[in-house]
Amino acid sequence: MIQANKNFLVIFDVGGIMVQLNYGNKGGFVEKASEIAGIPQRDFQLWHAQLEKKCLLGEVSAGEYYQLVREKLKNPQISQDDLKNLVGLLWEREIESTVCLKQRIHDAGYSIGLLSSMTDFALETLSKRHPKVFETWEGPKVYSFECGVIKPDLRIYGFFPEDTQKIFIDDNLRYVETPVKKLGWLGVHYTAHIDKSEGIRSIQEGDSQAKKYSHPNLRIANTPQELEESLRAFGVKI
């Protein structure tokens, strides 16, 4: 149990936790972009996933990304605004229940952090669309494109202060298991808003959604209510 709020850091992922993703669903980015490019959806999805991974690692900039997508679409005349709107279909909406929960946790006196495998172009777009998602009230924010590593690489979890108890909320089991089992964090695998077609999820090895929870500091939550219950079980008083 946590004895002091100031020594307790609640860390949220962004995609699939506070923003609903739409990679492969009907009307999403992959469907529309593959139609424009005139290639099968699966081929475009795999190509884009590999490109996005380089962006997540900070190896490809936003400008380079948009140019490569433009070339893949075989439509050099598409305007930059139309191209950004097309890519923007990757992010469907703000998940209000989780964003409100983050606010309540902060209001209860706990520190808030963000940990996301994030591209620079996603951060630029989403921070304008959904500024409340990125509020941490001076808490730490760790984005993969800035530090050059993506989850579940152990190094990305090392950017948070060591002298606090941390609880991490993510929609990918491997991403939660790693700091729980290797660093002593608490973790919640939150499954209510998973997009199984998410680019990085489709190319990383392993079964990220295996339904085995063998660690006492790891819980599963399938609904907003279960997420709150999991946090309370870890000692968060909300």
- pLDDT, tens only, 50-106: 999 999 999 999 999 999 999 999 988 899 999 999 999 999 999 999 999 999 999
Q: Over 60: is that where the pLDDT of 1 sits?
A: no
Torsion of CA 168, 192, 56, 161, to 10 degrees: -10
**pLDDT number for residue 7:** 78
Q: Over 50: is that where the pLDDT of 169 sits?
A: yes
**pLDDT number for residue 212:** 60
Using CA atoms, how far residue 214 sits from 64, 177, 182, 202, in Å, is: 43, 10, 14, 25
pLDDT-based confidence at residue 194 (cuts at 50, 70, 90): confident
**pLDDT number for residue 45:** 93
**pLDDT number for residue 5:** 73
Q: Which amino acid is at 112?
A: I
Q: Over 50: is that where the pLDDT of 164 sits?
A: yes
Selection from 204, 202, 208, 65 nearest residue 125 by Cα: 65
Question: In the predicted model, what is the mean pLDDT of the chain?
Answer: 91
Convert the pLDDT of each residue in 126-162 to its tens digit. 999 999 999 999 999 999 999 999 999 999 999 999 9
**pLDDT number for residue 208:** 47
Selection from 102, 89, 128 nearest residue 12 by Cα: 102
pLDDT-based confidence at residue 205 (cuts at 50, 70, 90): low
Find tokens 């305007």 and name the residue. 79
Percent of the chain residues topping a pLDDT of 70: 90
**pLDDT number for residue 114:** 98
pLDDT-based confidence at residue 217 (cuts at 50, 70, 90): very high
Percent of the chain residues topping a pLDDT of 90: 82
Calculate mean pLDDT across residues 196-222.
65
Distance between first and last Cα of the chain: 14
Q: The tokens of 60 are what?
A: 């490809």
Q: Over 80: is that where the pLDDT of 41 sits?
A: yes
